[in-house]
Amino acid sequence: MSSLLINALKGENQDRPPVWLMRQAGRYLPEYREFRKKYSLRELFFTPDLAAKVTKMPVDQFGVDAAILFSDITVVAEGLGLRLDFNEGPQISPNVSPECIGHFGFIPEKLDPIIETIRILKQDLKVPLIGFCGGPFTVASYLVGDLEKTKQWMREDPLTFGKLIDHITAISCTYLQMQVAAGVDAVQVFDSWANVLTKEQHKIFCLNPLEVLIQAAQVPSIFLCAESGSYIEKIPCAVSLDWTISLQDARKRTRQPLQGNLNPDFLFEPLDQIEKKTRELIQSMHRDPSFILNLGHGVKPNTPVNAVRCFVDVVKEFCIEGQSPA
């Protein structure tokens, strides 16, 4: 598929930057809140018709340049035969422990509803569809139960923890390949918690698995991790950056595509400030063929819908005007 997003991920975009938002389909949309009155999160994730409708909401409302599959990074727990529920966040039972290593199988059919969502979306979606998975370290943290238990396991028994990472990497490769076969045009790997790792741990438990995932996917790939600017030279694909590093500094350190990096809090500012800051960011990366405009993290609950619309419209008007922002 040829599009602004795919062109930018290939380093070939000669038009305005593509724009989409992480968590662009979610709690801030009134239509989504109506869905949540009727359905649990689990029902939305695992009912293809519903998940497809939620995925398309921001595309239909704002005209963003990409859709991202409405799902969750923890759904692979289902494929491992674990129970997955959602309250304030994912609830996985039973938790994984060192004694479990070697006893896990993977049942890809458990994820068939998510793959069917992709097939439904690809029937009429006019923009690229981004699939995704969790980075193995972050997924491991959910499977183990919490981040502190994960760090303790990693310190006390790095050998079995490494086996857990290898297993999650293998099933995540299969899951990404299933998504690609169903039609996703690009993938994003969310290793949200990997910033807690030391430099050596980051290489072993984050970057090495990332290489494997990218090779398995064989489509344009984006990587997200908090404070990823600290490792930007070593990331082998497009990098989704937060606001702790400027895009200009990032561009000096890598030729990989860059995505980001506005603080989601800026969407709570007055509309004229949203317009001003968005234009400033576009101007700062003007004519960069590998730049994707996004937030540095997901859209927050209670974000004003008009703020999101303003943000997207400013980017699209840049193209319509055919000139640099003032």
Rounded CA separation 205/107 (Å): 24
Rounded CA separation 187/118 (Å): 13
Instruction: Let me know if residue 296 belongs to a domain.
Output: yes
pLDDT of res. 322: 45
Instruction: Let me know if residue 70 belongs to a domain.
Output: yes
| CATH code, domain with 181 | 3.20.20.210
Instruction: Let me know if residue 278 belongs to a domain.
Output: yes
Pairing between β-strand 291-295 and β-strand 258-262 as defined by DSSP bridges = parallel
- What total number of domains does the chain contain? 1
Rounded CA separation 222/227 (Å): 15
Instruction: Let me know if residue 284 belongs to a domain.
Output: yes
Instruction: Let me know if residue 326 belongs to a domain.
Output: no
pLDDT of res. 186: 98
Can you give the pTM of this predicted structure? 0.95
Q: Which of 69, 65, 89, 67 is nearest to 77 (CA)?
A: 89
Range of the domain at 209: 4-321
The helix or strand, by DSSP H or E, that contains position 178, with its residue range, turns out to be helix 158-182
pLDDT of res. 58: 97
For residue 292, the 8-state DSSP code is: E
The edge-to-edge listing of strands for the beta sheet with 129-134 is 67-68, 129-134, 186-190, 221-224, 238-240, 258-262, 291-295
Q: Which pLDDT tens digits describe the chain residue by residue (326 residues)?
A: 559 999 999 999 999 999 999 999 999 999 999 999 999 999 999 999 999 999 999 999 999 999 999 999 999 999 999 999 998 789 999 999 888 876 778 999 999 999 999 999 999 999 999 999 999 999 999 999 999 999 999 999 999 999 999 999 999 999 999 999 999 999 999 999 999 999 999 999 999 999 999 999 999 999 999 888 888 999 999 999 999 999 999 999 999 999 999 999 999 999 999 999 999 999 999 899 999 999 999 999 999 999 999 999 999 998 544 444 43
pLDDT of res. 99: 81
pLDDT of res. 265: 97
Q: Which residue has the tokens 């028994």?
A: 157
Instruction: Let me know if residue 176 belongs to a domain.
Output: yes
Instruction: Let me know if residue 87 belongs to a domain.
Output: yes
